[in-house]
Amino acid sequence: MKISLPYLEGRGLSCIRDDRVLFEQLDFSLKSGQVLLLEGKNGSGKTSLLRILCGFREPDSGTVICCGETINDSPYYADLAYVGHLDGIKKELTVSENLKVSLALSQPGRYSMQQALAKVKLEGYDDVLVQALSAGQKRRLSLARLLITHNRLWILDEPFTSLDKEGIALIESLMIDHCLSGGMIVLTSHHETHLPGVDIQRIVLS
Amino acid sequence: MSLTYAFIAIIRRDLVLALRRRSEVANPLLFFVLVITLFPLGIGAQPNLLRAIAPGIIWVSALLAAMLSLDSLFRSDFDDGSLEQILLSPYPASILVLAKIVAHWLVTGLPLLAIAPLLAIFLGLPNQSLGVLLLTLLLGTPVLSLIGAIGVALTVGLRRGGMILSLLVLPLYVPVLIFASNAVAMASSGLPVQAQIYLLLAILLCALVLAPWPTAAALKMSIT
């Protein structure tokens, strides 16, 4: 693994929404094992930046570059996993049915479904319909998706929403694991994140 | 895990979902049956008139039933974020979208085919045209789902896209309606219908190849 080359780079990114400039000429680069933490008030463009990184939105200027190429091709998407404001899980399906669909849409990753459910403390919930889960449990389920699929870059939008203290500690330990094994994370969070031993870059959007 | 596997997984997921929220599936079918059963009551005891307009009645009802069911195609996936996950998949979005359209047709189009012979007899359509009716429905209803998908993909991000959706999609449905009901009418008077069937087949193949791309592109636009 080439540690020296940046994996993901943003060059001169700008985002304008309804004639309001959210951010301008934003540059960053992310290397293997690093975390990029986006901070800023509500409405400062954190989610917009994440959606630009996912390719859902075109930046109003600038480019996002992955391994020296622009991100419009599938190798980038094969390495990316996104958990946004919306969980992306179907409430009429069971926990394991949801994970099976996620798995089918991607390549298998480090953990099996059972291991991932154990990691996020949802073991034994396989055949429970998602609508019977609490908000925090749904959140954990959507984070379990990160573990079962192959990915290097996690893009997380407020991953700690509706999690309890224990849940937050759990996800933080998973994030540390991911970074120590060469993964990268871009996240927004209002919580103070404790990720000892991980190289964190902060971008403050205002 | 391959593209085929992803394709099948999406179809299976949508079929399971349809099974768990049955009312959404039953609505278009119920609409189809209700409209067709109301016509004889409205027209009165004129079996010849009814027989003459039966192909049109059946096809117009099928078309409206298909319209009615369109919104459910991407709505729930859009609302709960599943659509984002599908579009983020490394597999081509157009193929995954095609899987969703196929599942949608299996759930909303295929039941119309199953009930149509019964309704055709009810309207007094001659037996010799039953086969042609089924064939036109088999070729035509997937086109309705495929073309409709483009319209839904464009309007799913709007809060009140229903009206725009009908305006977008209905004109594109007209050729299918004309050729299909014409084929059934010709068949009931014993005339050859190859031309219409071939045209429907051509429309279906074109839609099958051409519709998934704009649908995927429009979905990408809708989620920004």
ipTM for this prediction: 0.87
Q: B125-149: string of b/e by CB count within 10 Å (b at 16+)?
A: beeebbebbbbbbebbbbbbbbbbb
Contacts of B81 in chain A (CB under 8 A): 84-89
B178, B195 in Cβ contact below 8 A? no
Interatomic CA distance for residues B4 and B143, integer angstroms: 22
- Tokens representing A133 are 């889960």
| pLDDT tens per residue across span A74-109 | 678 888 899 988 888 999 999 999 999 999 998 888
The answer, yes or no, to whether residue B207 has pLDDT greater than 80, is yes
Q: Which of A56, A74, A87 sits opposite B224 (nearest CB)?
A: A56
For an interface test with B, give the residue of A57, A86, A150, A161 to mutate (most B CBs within 10 A): A86
What pLDDT was estimated at residue A74? Answer: 62
The answer, yes or no, to whether residue A163 has pLDDT greater than 80, is yes
Residue B81, sorted as left (phi over 0), alpha (psi -120 to 50) or beta, turns out to be left
CA-based nearest residue in chain B for residue A96: B13
| H or E segment to which residue A127 belongs | none
CB atoms A77 and B90 under 8 Å: yes
Q: To the nearest whole percent, how much of chain A has pLDDT over 70?
A: 97
**Where does A83-188 have alpha helices with state H?**
95-104, 113-119, 135-148, 165-180
Lowest mean pLDDT of B18-27, B131-140, B210-219, name the range. B18-27
> Is residue A8 classed as helix, strand or coil in its secondary structure?
strand
Task: Show the CA angle centred on residue A36, arms to residues A31 and A41, nearest 5°.
Answer: 160
Partners of A199 in the beta sheet? A34
CB contacts < 8 A, A to B, total 82
**What is the length of chain A?**
206
Measure Cα distances from A169 to A165, A193, B36, B101 in Å: 6, 9, 60, 41
What pLDDT was estimated at residue A190? Answer: 80
Name which of B97, B89, B95 is nearest B154 in CA terms: B97
Nearest-CA distance A169 → chain B (Å) = 25
Nearest-CA distance A17 → chain B (Å) = 11
> Is residue A173 classed as helix, strand or coil in its secondary structure?
helix
Nearest-CA distance A182 → chain B (Å) = 21
Task: Show the CA angle centred on residue B116, arms to residues B199 and B99, nearest 5°.
Answer: 65
Task: Show the CA angle centred on residue B164, arms to residues B163 and B168, nearest 5°.
Answer: 125
| pLDDT tens per residue across span A109-134 | 888 889 999 988 888 898 999 999 99
Nearest-CA distance A128 → chain B (Å) = 14
Instruction: Enumerate the domain spans of chain A.
Output: 86-151
The boundaries of the domain holding residue B157 are 3-222
- Would you call A127 an interface residue with chain B, using a CB distance cutoff of 8 Å? no
Model confidence band, residue B25 (pLDDT cutoffs 50, 70, 90): confident
CB atoms A107 and B1 under 8 Å: yes
CB atoms B1 and A103 under 8 Å: yes
| H or E segment to which residue A36 belongs | strand A34-40
| pLDDT tens per residue across span B164-192 | 999 999 999 999 999 999 999 999 888 99
| pLDDT tens per residue across span B104-156 | 999 999 999 999 999 999 898 998 899 999 999 999 999 999 999 999 999 99
Residue in the block written with tokens 């992803």: B6
CA-based nearest residue in chain A for residue B17: A92
| pLDDT tens per residue across span A169-198 | 989 999 999 999 888 999 998 877 888 888
| pLDDT tens per residue across span B77-107 | 999 989 999 998 889 999 999 999 999 999 9
What pLDDT was estimated at residue A1? Answer: 46
